[in-house]
């Protein structure tokens, strides 16, 4: 026999007043009747004052005592034999990268696993829900999973999130626990960040330790003709000066860093494949090793159609000649930016149709559009013809000077033979914007390296199925056509872009975050939950067997039937 809520046995104290009520009789007032047959079964009455005497309704007393016993059994949640615990424990674990910090051979994440297993045992929990905090809260186990299964799932947990607010994860965990008034446990490695909104139901436990750490703060690489230019910033998050050796591919460089200081290292070397940049292992090994992929400048092919005006073609060639990575030709090629005259199917049309008119301003441009960014038109004479189709991007008076169609085709309503645009600073900037816009529209990954927590830009083409695959078999489907921005990658490492069943591009997510690398402020920390549950709420939340309650009601009905029958007989 077991009791889920032993305090419910206090209901047995109702035995005493019940027995006292049956033994204690009081003097009854005399009753006058007109005939003795109206008083067939006179009861015994006390003749003077209250006194104890033998009672005469043993069956009724026994039934009421049994009813009190059944009520106590229901309130105390009595069970015959062992039963599985139904208590639900909701826990939030900090998914920050700093939880991988190692002290005495064990990481903070390992200590969280130990503390969580001990908490589940102490609370006699039967169900466990584990939520990982991060840029987007994630349920690692549950909701309401068996404790053994939840702890087994937590063994595979590797915290890799950048610095973030744990508030959304706490609010989500409180809802999973049943709303307000239900306790939630948070395991982290240091004090909560200033401004964190933690509900009063949250009990915080920190298992971290203050540690010295050397970290890579940023890493960049650019490749030109087989030569890799690498720039690395190293920080010393220690209380003492450190002498360390930095490895960049096959090269090494000795560094001397004062406490809290940073330094920048630049190197050039022949390399055609990935380069590893590494520091010696310390408290947080993950922020001391990165892989840099080859990052050649983006190339673009520009095709000039034969129908262009000679002055327009010459002005374009002069402006494109100073843009790196651009190749100009007259033969159509795939993935090229095509520039042609009005009426053609080119990506960009340049020229006028109909009668022309010169404009000195004012010019009204749509700010924020990539094609017109930083284009200054003061002192420009713009000669335009009939307004082109599409959405106006720049206008003067009633004339539309630049427009864009829904499918992305751009129209420059500009006669360079009667304008001075090509002789101002606005022209090379405008052409550079067009090149940059075309590069963004090229399918693939515009960037080769992303810091932890940065969104992932992807450009797709219609008619193909794209997916982004990361470490550990993670796969994200890319929905949309053209430039698409995916949420930040949750795991550092190499992420590959697949088109249909072929890998077409790749990027590296660097596990670097200066806020997570600084371990000097970590350490023991605890906050008790401000809201505690009362005894009544604990009793009601404990699941109970219905049979004691049904037995109590049955006994009370039988007692009522016996009492009513005797009264009717009297």
pLDDT digits (tens, 9 = 90+) for 326-350: 889 888 887 789 999 998 989 999 9
Each residue's pLDDT tens digit, 303-319: 999 889 999 999 999 99
**528-544 burial code (b ≥16 CB/10 A, e <16):** ebeeeeeeeeebeebeb
pLDDT tier at 31, thresholds 50, 70, 90: low
Collapse the DSSP code of 435 into the 3-class scheme (helix H, G, I; strand E, B; otherwise coil) and give the result.
Answer: helix
Structure tokens at 166: 């744990």
Residues 6+ apart with CB under 8 A from 521: 190, 191, 210
Each residue's pLDDT tens digit, 358-402: 998 889 998 888 899 989 888 899 999 999 999 999 999 889 999
**Which residues make beta-bridge pairs with 302?**
328, 337
Each residue's pLDDT tens digit, 527-567: 887 654 444 334 444 456 777 788 888 888 887 777 776 65
- Fold category of 300-440 in CATH: Rossmann fold (3.40.50)
Torsion sign (Cα): 234, 238, 240, 246: negative
Collapse the DSSP code of 242 into the 3-class scheme (helix H, G, I; strand E, B; otherwise coil) and give the result.
Answer: strand
pLDDT tier at 56, thresholds 50, 70, 90: low
Give the mean pLDDT of 48-73: 69
Closest Cα to residue 198, out of 529, 525, 522, 515? 529
First-to-last CA distance in the chain? 44
**Which residues make beta-bridge pairs with 88?**
127
The reported pLDDT for the residue numbered 538 is: 45
Torsion sign (Cα): 493, 497, 500, 501: negative
Check whether 1 has a pLDDT greater than 80.
no
For residue 209, whether the previous peptide bond is cis, meaning omega lies within 30 degrees of 0, is no
Each residue's pLDDT tens digit, 247-306: 999 999 999 999 999 999 999 999 889 999 999 999 999 999 999 999 887 888 999 998
Percent of the chain with pLDDT over 90: 52
Check whether 47 has a pLDDT greater than 80.
no
More confident residue, 568 or 208: 208
The reported pLDDT for the residue numbered 107 is: 94
- Fold category of 449-510 in CATH: Immunoglobulin-like (2.60.40)
Q: Which stretches of 173-321 are assigned E, i.e. beta strand?
A: 184-188, 202-207, 213-224, 227-237, 242-248, 251-257, 262-270, 275-278, 289-292, 300-304
Closest Cα to residue 96, out of 487, 410, 515, 480? 515
Structure tokens at 190: 């240091």
Tell me the whole-structure pTM to 2 decimals.
0.68
The reported pLDDT for the residue numbered 539 is: 42
The reported pLDDT for the residue numbered 388 is: 93
User: Per mean pLDDT, which of 111-115, 144-148, 461-465 is the most reliable?
Assistant: 111-115
The reported pLDDT for the residue numbered 534 is: 42
Give the mean pLDDT of 443-460: 91
Mean pLDDT value across the chain = 85
Give the mean pLDDT of 81-89: 65
The reported pLDDT for the residue numbered 46 is: 44
Give the mean pLDDT of 197-204: 86
Closest Cα to residue 180, out of 532, 546, 423? 532
The reported pLDDT for the residue numbered 430 is: 93
Q: DSSP assignment of 137-193, as one string? A: -EEEEEEEEEHHHHHHHHTT----B-S--SHHHHHHHHHHHTSTT--EEEEESSPPP
Structure tokens at 92: 């939030």
Same fold for the domain at 300-440 and the one at 449-510? no
Check whether 117 has a pLDDT greater than 90.
yes
Q: How far apart are CA 291 and CA 387, in angstroms?
A: 51
Check whether 33 has a pLDDT greater than 90.
no
Q: Give the CATH H-level superfamily of domain 88-210+521-541.
A: von Willebrand factor, type A domain (3.40.50.410)
The reported pLDDT for the residue numbered 24 is: 65
Q: How far apart are CA 228 and CA 272, in angstroms?
A: 8
Whether 350 contacts 414, CB under 8 Å: yes
The reported pLDDT for the residue numbered 52 is: 47
Whether 299 contacts 327, CB under 8 Å: yes
The reported pLDDT for the residue numbered 85 is: 54
Check whether 228 has a pLDDT greater than 90.
yes
More confident residue, 126 or 457: 457
For the chain, domain boundaries: 2-83+543-569, 88-210+521-541, 300-440, 449-510
Mutual angle of helices 547-569 and 58-75, in 10-degree steps:
160
Q: How far apart are CA 108 and CA 354, in angstroms?
A: 73
**Which residues make beta-bridge pairs with 102?**
107
């Amino acid at each position: 026999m077991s009791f889920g809520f032993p305090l419910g046995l206090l209901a047995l104290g109702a035995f005493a007043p019940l027995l006292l009520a049956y033994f204690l009789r009081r003097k009854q007032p005399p009753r006058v009747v007109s005939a003795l047959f109206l008083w067939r079964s006179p009861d015994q009455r006390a003749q003077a004052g209250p006194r104890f005497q033998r009672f005469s309704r043993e069956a009724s007393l026994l039934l009421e005592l049994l009813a009190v016993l059944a009520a106590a059994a229901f309130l105390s949640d009595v069970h015959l034999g062992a039963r599985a615990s139904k208590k639900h424990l909701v826990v939030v674990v900090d998914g920050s990268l700093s939880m991988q910090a190692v002290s005495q051979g064990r990481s903070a994440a390992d200590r969280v696993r130990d503390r969580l297993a001990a908490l589940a045992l102490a609370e006699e929990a039967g169900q466990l829900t584990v939520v990982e905090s991060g840029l987007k809260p994630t349920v690692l186990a549950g909701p309401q999973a068996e404790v053994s299964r939840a702890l087994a799932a937590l063994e595979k947990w590797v915290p890799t999130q950048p610095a973030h607010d744990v508030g959304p994860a706490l609010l989500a965990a409180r809802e999973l626990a049943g709303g307000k008034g239900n306790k939630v446990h948070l395991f982290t490695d240091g004090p909560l960040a200033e401004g964190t909104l933690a509900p009063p139901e949250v009990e915080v436990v920190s298992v971290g330790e203050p540690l010295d750490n050397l970290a890579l703060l940023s890493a960049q690489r650019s490749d030109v003709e087989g030569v890799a230019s690498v720039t690395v910033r190293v920080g010393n998050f220690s209380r003492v000066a450190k002498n360390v050796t930095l490895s960049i591919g096959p090269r090494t460089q000795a560094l001397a860093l004062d406490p809290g200081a940073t330094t920048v290292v630049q190197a050039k070397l022949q390399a055609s494949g990935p380069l590893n940049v590494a520091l010696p292992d310390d408290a947080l090994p993950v922020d001391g090793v990165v892989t840099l992929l080859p990052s050649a400048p983006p190339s673009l092919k520009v095709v000039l159609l034969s129908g262009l005006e000679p002055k327009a073609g010459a002005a374009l060639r002069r402006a494109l000649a100073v843009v790196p990575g651009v190749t100009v030709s007259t033969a159509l090629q795939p993935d090229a930016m095509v520039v042609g005259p009005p009426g053609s199917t080119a990506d960009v049309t340049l020229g006028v149709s109909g009668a022309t008119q010169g404009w000195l301003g004012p010019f009204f441009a749509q700010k924020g559009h990539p094609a017109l960014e930083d284009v200054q038109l003061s002192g420009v004479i713009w000669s335009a013809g009939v307004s082109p189709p599409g959405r106006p991007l720049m206008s003067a008076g009633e004339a539309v000077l630049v427009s864009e169609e829904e499918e992305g085709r751009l129209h420059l309503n500009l006669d360079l033979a009667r304008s001075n645009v090509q002789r101002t600073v606005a022209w090379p900037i405008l052409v550079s914007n067009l090149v940059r816009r075309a590069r963004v529209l090229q399918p693939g990954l515009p960037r080769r390296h992303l810091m932890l927590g940065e969104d992932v830009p992807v450009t797709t083409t219609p008619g193909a199925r794209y997916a982004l695959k990361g470490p550990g078999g993670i796969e994200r489907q890319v929905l949309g056509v053209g430039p698409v921005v995916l949420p930040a990658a949750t795991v550092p490492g190499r992420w590959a872009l697949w088109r249909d069943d072929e890998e077409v591009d790749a990027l590296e997510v660097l596990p670097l975050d200066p806020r997570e690398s600084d371990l000097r402020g970590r350490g023991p920390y605890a906050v008790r939950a401000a809201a505690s549950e009362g005894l009544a709420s604990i009793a009601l939340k404990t699941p109970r067997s219905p049979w004691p309650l049904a037995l109590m009601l049955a006994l009370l009905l039988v007692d009522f039937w016996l009492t009513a029958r005797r009264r009717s007989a009297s």
